[in-house]
Structure 1
Amino acid sequence: MRKLFLLIGIICCLTAFKSTVDEQAWIRINFLGYRPARTKVAVWAGKTTEAVTQPFQVVEIQTGKVVYENTVGRDFGAYGPFTQTYRLDFSAIKKPGRYYLKVGTVQSPEFRIADDVYNGTADFCLRYMRQQRSGYNPFLKDSCHTHDGYTMYGPMPDSTHIDVSGGWHDASDYLQYVTTSANATYHLLAAYRDFPRVFGDRHQANGLEGSNSQADVLDEARWGLDWLLKMHPKDDWMFNQLADDRDHSGIRIPKQDSAYGKGYERPVYFATGKPQGLLRHKNRATGVASTAGKFSSAFALGFQVLRRRDQEYAERLWQRAQTAYKLGLQKPGVCQTAPGRAPYFYEEDNYVDDMELAAVELYNAARIQGYKAADYLNSAYAYGLIEPVTPWLGADTARHYQWYPFINIGHYEVAKRVVDSRRQHIIGFYRSGIEKVWQKAQSNAFYRGVPFIWCSNNLTTSFAIQCLWYRKLTGDNRYAQLEQACFDWLFGCNPWGTSFVYGLPAGADTPSDPHSAFTHIGNYPIDGGLVDGPVYGRIYKNLIGIQLKDPDEYEAFQSDLVVYHDDYGDYSTNEPTMDGTASLIYLLASKQAEATETPVVAAPAKAKVVKKKAPVRKSIKRKSSGRKKTTGRSTVKKKRRRR
């Protein structure tokens, strides 16, 4: 009997030890899944010191059989909260199906391999853009900010009323900036231009349900264009910003916004090219070209995309594209956003990238109309030579939105138009920037070379697009795994094992308690919103007014290097942004469109593949991503045990 008790005790101890070991290691994957012919890499991350000697295995869920195994390969060492990390490359698996990975007793969440894994994701993220609408908000089926706004710094008397209602709220607050809105509008237009078959038509122009014979992404882009036209109403009038950080005085639903002492009116800032700030702090503006260039490129691309749908509207866009560009030439320099009570603002320090893009899109629009346009293209190329590499690439840090947009879009458009040595110059600029990031990324298992500054997810998205465009321009596949690692990071292959997009995919670990009045007050889902993303621990510790509201469910994965919180109290890592989401829509559209293109894949590692006959099975449909407004996702998620 004593031997029996001893045996039971030993078994219990071993079981307890096994459980402890399991909880010290995790396998991180892309929750959206993987395309059959593309790179597929997961990351094993653990807090143990004992080397991992077991192979990793890929298990097919339908049969329960191991269909692939390989060594875990190189230990990339410590990263963040982990003491050792490994990249698990299973690109050799090309058969569609549902799988999970195993290393010993450590198991990944389930994932899918199929050509349609990214289908509908771009349209899903458009939900967030519609929810961010100002003027009329289709999500709330109510109007807001219809009294905007009263002018400041303009040639007219201060507090003159001007109609600038419309556009999108910038993030979970209700400020509105041309800087981000024009960039978002451009990305939406470019997504339709480059991948028109990806988008559906399930909404009307006002955002309510119902078809209007126009892709929803164009409805959204035109919503942005309409507001931009209001912000550049005359040849020599250009406004840069609507509202300021008095917005942050409390949380409220948009129609209750009355924080500025003039009823429901908000201030609209004229673009003077000089430092501005009505309260304690001021920016360092030196000109208007950064804003003027963004205006011009959005209008010029809008003309190209919409000219056959609405000629009169397109002609108006063409005229404003030219007048905005002219203002940029007259007042070179940066037009930063205006701070108020707090020292935070968009500290944009470059403008030649904006003027480069404006010039090349004016070239494209002029050629369509049969005009002589070589001067525009030559100017675009000349601007590109001034800033060949976007300065944050390869850097460890930068100020908030210091180098914005986070990708030089003009390089891609110029490279498509020029030939010979000029084309190679521009492509070389892209390659140089990517290489700077790669030199940092290859030293860690997550292939992270993007700095953890505010809005790191926006940088990650933009960098993935730059890698995509470089690959398309050259056919060079050397950075394919780096490109995919950035995409995977956004959807779960990160230290916290979470997707950074609210509600995408359904059933996965995604944000549930973001810094958003919609979720905090009304428990409304903000489907499709890309949150800011992780920041350096030192940044988080020095920010003003941050206090977590609930116990940190990701505590085990925080580190001095980087933190992320799914908590309303953390506005630095968990606040969704409109411009980041618009960039992600372009990236997701490209991923869906690639399913019909000839694949270019990084060479997979050699390994043992277990061959077997494919069973006959029915297709597996993705679970609906719709949610009821009354669902208390935050409460449910806090109770769910993390893997």
Structure 2
Amino acid sequence: MKVFATILFLFISSTILWAQQQSWIRINQLGYLPEGKKVMVWVSKGNQSIKSFEVYDADNNKVAYKGKVNKIFGKYGPFERGARLDISRVQKSGRYYVKTDDGTQSPVFKINSDVYKGAADFTLRYMRQQRTLFNPYLQDSCHTHDGFTMYASSVGLPDSTHIDAGGGWHDASDYLQYSTTSANAAFHLLAAYRDFPEVFGDEKQANGLDGKNGIADVLDEAKWGLDWLLKMHPKPNMMFNQIADDRDHSGYRLPGLDSLYGRGHERPVYFIDGNPQQRGKFMNNTTGTSSTAAKFTSAFSLGYHLLKDKDQDYAALLKEKAKSAYDYAYIKPGVTQTVSVKSPYIYAEDNWVDDMELAEAMMYSLKQDPAYLDKGLNYARQEPVTPWMIRDTANHYQYYPFINLGHYELAKHTKGKEREEVIKYYKEGIEYVWNRAKDNMFYRGVPYIWCSNNLTTSFAIQTYWYKQLTGSTAYEELEQANFDWLFGVNPWGTSMVFGLPADGDTPVHPHSSLTYLHNYPLDGGLVDGPVYASIYNNLIGIQLLAEDEYAKFQSDLVVYHDDFGDYSTNEPTMDGTASLIYLLSAKEAEGQKKK
């Protein structure tokens, strides 16, 4: 009885202490590279300040470093005060924790060259889980009857004509499929393998099941996406933008049980005609064919370069399709938006010259014709900075894919003043974000719009590419701050990636039928991320299903919930995860080089 009473007392005491706790230290739960930038963030809901901190070796509790606090930041979100604790001088591998002079202690964290080892391959799990046709995660087939055409009568396909469009990835926790996000995802996977082939393993067959096949798993995954894109561009005069629509959202089910469109298990396949299409009682704002078609061009081009030595016939097909997709982009210059039937939410992509810039650069890589570079530079000048960086806001997917990929590819193919010009565009965008970020303890300059984690990942890639192109480390701490944000250096102290790290605070209740119905984990999935409280409070159909474990860290500025009922902050996305795979592979490669 005494033992029970003691345990009860300790439990109650620890609960009271947590409730009374006013200060915390946020860390990157994955850890830090020995020679990399390492900054924790101290935050407090009280009005006290701190002046110093100490780093302790967790294995012997001895002080390894003493540091001073140079600046106290003011109110941000739920916190009254904050400070950045720079421990970059600690470079010896080991396990550490930090204490500030007010007694706040951080969790234990790791410093070594292997802290990111295997992270990119782990995140690939989510991509395989999103596969259609044969799904290796469920070891079952789904969406094998896709689909019937819409809006394609101009090319001899009356509405409801059956075509073979099976394959690819589900876009998020729903089962819709979009060419624009899939082509962007395929490009990021291919670029990750092109730039960092050494970090990826071969543990899966092409179908996603266990077994080596002599090809890196990331390349297998990219090819799965390319196979579907080929089906979505079956002929030079045919290209399709999406499969299914928001009627998908009518209930929770496994993907094999999808039959909501009045034709058994067939789903609608929407043709790209460059004109506005159905959006419930409205029409979307499609103005042309370029944004999606240009993304096809870029993915096919990069696929050709990486697969030409492995499968010559397949690579030749990709090269041919890259050119026909490029021609399709010029049928009607403009943007192609997605279709919604019941709700007001779509991927409201509003820019397309960035896609054309990338397509021109990738066509140059195929043809070596300088005319492509000239056109690419012309497009670069039309949108030098991705608009959300300037405006600090955007509609849902308005400026997709959140980063101008073309600047990086053009910079690799140009010299002199032209190269300096496109690199300058990256710097201008970074400066817009930095001017907002420098005023808060998290160095947060990315807006809390829907899918803010995708923007965060893309911005971290842009700062990384700027460093690679220039050799400048001017924005290294800003780059690391955005990376750290995704793994715990945020108001909630949580990783935004399901299951990564395995021993960390990560999402466990994502908005997903697989988890909600069968408790299947979504390993590796990057969730949408925090949104402005004003956005959250005005979304349709959100209702939290459990007590909010992060209630203490919500604010009038921004919210995040690890709750199935919150589709705005806790739904993983396929394209955001693919972008994260590139970022993680860059970090893992950096660690390998320092060994």
Asked if these proteins are the same fold (TM beyond 0.5), I'd say: yes
What is the rounded CA distance, in whole Å, between the counterparts of 2:182 and 2:17 in structure 1? Answer: 49
Closer/same/farther in 2, CA of residues 255 and 16 from structure 1, 3 Å limit: closer
Contact kept? 2:133, 2:142, Cα under 8 Å: yes
Aligned pair 1:83/2:86, yes or no? no
Aligned AA (2:298):
S
1:26 corresponds in structure 2 to 24
Per-residue deviation, 1:330:
2.0
Q: For 2:461, which of 438, 447, 465 is the aligned residue?
A: 465
Pick one of 504, 511, 516 that aligns with 2:507. 511
One-letter identity of the residue aligned with 2:66: E
Helix, strand or coil at the partner of 2:40 = strand
3-state DSSP class of the match of 2:275?
A: coil
Equivalent-residue separation in structure 2 for 1:473 and 1:189 (angstroms):
20
**Equivalent in the alignment of 2:197:** 196
Q: What SS does the corresponding residue of 1:392 show, helix, strand or coil?
A: helix
The answer (yes or no) to whether the contact 1:281–1:342 under 8 Å persists in 2 is no
Measure how far apart 1:71 and its partner are. 2.1
The aligned runs of 1:244-393 (5 Å cut-off) are 244-277=245-278, 279-367=280-368, 373-393=369-389
Paired amino acid for 1:50: Q
Aligned to 1:96: 93
Measure, in 1, the Cα distance between the counterparts of 2:131 and 2:335.
Answer: 27
Query: Is the Cα–Cα contact under 8 Å of residues 281 and 339 in structure 1 kept in the other structure?
Result: no
Hey, what's the Cα distance between the residues in 1 that align with 2:339 and 2:484? 35
SS at match of 1:360: helix
- Provide the residue aligned with 2:530 in structure 1: 534
Question: Contact (CA 8 Å) 1:281, 1:341: kept in 2 or not?
Answer: no
- Counterpart code for 1:46: S
In 1: Cα distance, 2:281 partner to 2:220 partner: 39
Alpha carbons of structure 1 residues 20 and 582: separation in structure 2 relative to 1, 3 Å: closer
> Structure 1's 381 and 16: CA in aligned 2 closer, same or farther, altered over 3 A?
closer
Change (3 A) 1:309 1:495: same
Q: How does 1:21-60 map to 2 (within 5 A)?
A: 23-53=21-51, 55-60=52-57
Distance (Å, rounded) in 1 between the aligned partners of 2:19 and 2:537: 31
**Is the 8 Å Cα contact of residues 301 and 365 (structure 1) preserved in structure 2?**
no
Q: Cα deviation per residue 1:333-361 (whole Å; 9 max; x = unaligned)?
A: 00000111000001111111111111111
Aligned length: 580
Contact 1:22 1:106 in 2 (8 A): no
CA distance in 1, matches of 2:200, 2:18: 47
1: CA distance, partners of 2:506 / 2:145: 36
**Could you tell me how far 1:70 is from its partner in structure 2?**
1.4
CA contact (8 A) 1:448 1:486 kept: yes
- 2:64 is aligned, of 63, 67, 84, to 67
Structure 2 counterparts to residues 32-181 of structure 1, below 5 A: 32-53=30-51, 55-103=52-100, 104-155=102-153, 156-181=157-182
Cα distance in structure 1, aligned partners of 2:438 and 2:86: 15
Q: Which residue type is aligned with residue 65 of structure 2? A: Y
Residues 228 and 20 of structure 1, relative CA distance in 2, 3 Å threshold: closer
Q: What is the CA–CA distance in structure 1 between the aligned matches of 2:260 and 2:391, rounded to whole Å?
A: 38
Q: Which amino acid is the alignment partner of residue 376 of structure 1?
A: Y
8 A contact 2:40–2:85 mirrored in 1? yes
User: Alpha-carbon deviation of 1:21?
Assistant: 8.9
Distance 1:18 1:180 in 2: 46
Tell me how far 1:245 sits from its aligned partner: 0.2
Aligned equivalents of 1:157, 1:278: Cα separation in 2: 20
Quote the offset at 1:262 in angstroms.
1.1
Distance 1:22 1:51 in 2: 17
- Unpaired runs of 5+ residues, structure 1, are 1-11, 368-372, 600-643
The answer as to whether partners of 2:433 and 2:446 remain within 8 angstroms in 1 is: yes
Residue 477 of structure 1 and its aligned partner are, at CA, apart by 0.7
Shift, 1:522, TM fit: 1.1
Which letter maps to 1:582? A
Moved more, 243-252 or 269-278: 269-278
* Contact 1:31 1:492 survives alignment (8 Å): yes
1:193-245 Cα shifts (integer Å, max 9, x gaps): 00011100000000000000000000000000000000000001000010000
Counterpart of 1:68, as a letter, is Y
TM-score by length of 2: 0.96
Give the counterpart letter for 2:437 in structure 1.
A
* CA displacement 1:248-287 (0-9 Å, x = unmatched): 0001100011111111110000001111116433210000
Contact 1:182 1:298 in 2 (8 A): yes
Deviation at 1:18, TM superposition (A): 10
CA contact (8 A) 1:282 1:340 kept: no
Residue 106 of structure 1: CA displacement?
Answer: 1.5
Once the two structures are TM-superposed, the CA of residue 73 in structure 1 deviates from its matched residue by 2.6
In 1, the alpha carbon distance for the partners of 2:284 and 2:15 equals 57
Which residue number in structure 2 is paired with residue 628 of structure 1?
A: none
From 477, 483, 487, give the equivalent of 1:487: 483
Q: What does 1:445-594 correspond to in 2, within 5 Å?
A: 445-594=441-590
Q: Where does residue 609 of structure 1 map in the other structure?
A: none
Instruction: Tell me by how many angstroms 1:17 deviates.
Output: 13
Deviation string for 1:375-418 (max 9, x for gaps)?
11221111111111110113221100000011101100000110
Q: Which amino acid aligns with 1:240?
A: N
For the residues of structure 1 that align with 2:203 and 2:328, how far apart are their CA atoms? 38
CA distance in 2 between counterparts of 1:447 and 1:86 reads: 11
Q: Is the 8 A contact 1:394 1:449 kept in 2?
A: no
Give 1:566 shift: 0.1
Moved more, 198-207 or 355-364: 355-364
Larger CA deviation: 257-266 vs 230-239: 257-266
Distance (Å, rounded) in 2 between the aligned partners of 1:63 and 1:229: 58
Taking the aligned partners of 1:336 and 1:596, their CA distance within structure 2 comes to 41
Q: Quote the RMSD (CA, aligned, Å).
A: 1.5
**Post-superposition CA distance 1:427-470 (Å, at most 9, x none):** 00000000000000000000000000000000000000000000
Aligned-residue sequence identity (percent) comes to 61
**After TM superposition, what 4+ stretches of structure 1 lie above 3 angstroms from structure 2?**
15-22, 596-599
Alpha-carbon distance, 1:36 to partner: 0.4
Deviation of 1:534 after TM superposition, in Å, equals: 0.2
Counterpart Cα distance in 2 of 1:597 and 1:179: 34
- Once residues 221 and 15 of structure 2 are traced to their aligned partners in structure 1, the CA distance between those partners, rounded to angstroms, is 54
Shift of 1:20: 7.0
Q: 1:411 aligns with which of 384, 407, 413?
A: 407
Aligned amino acid, residue 169 of structure 1: H
CA distance in 1, matches of 2:380, 2:593: 30
Whole-angstrom CA distance in 2 between matches of 1:362 and 1:496: 44
| Equivalent residue letter for 2:168 | G
Q: Which runs of 5+ in 2 are unaligned?
A: 1-9
CA contact 1:150–1:267 (8 Å) conserved in 2: yes
The whole-number CA distance in structure 1 between the counterparts of 2:18 and 2:233 is 61
Counterparts of 2:162 and 2:359 in 1: how far apart (Å)? 30
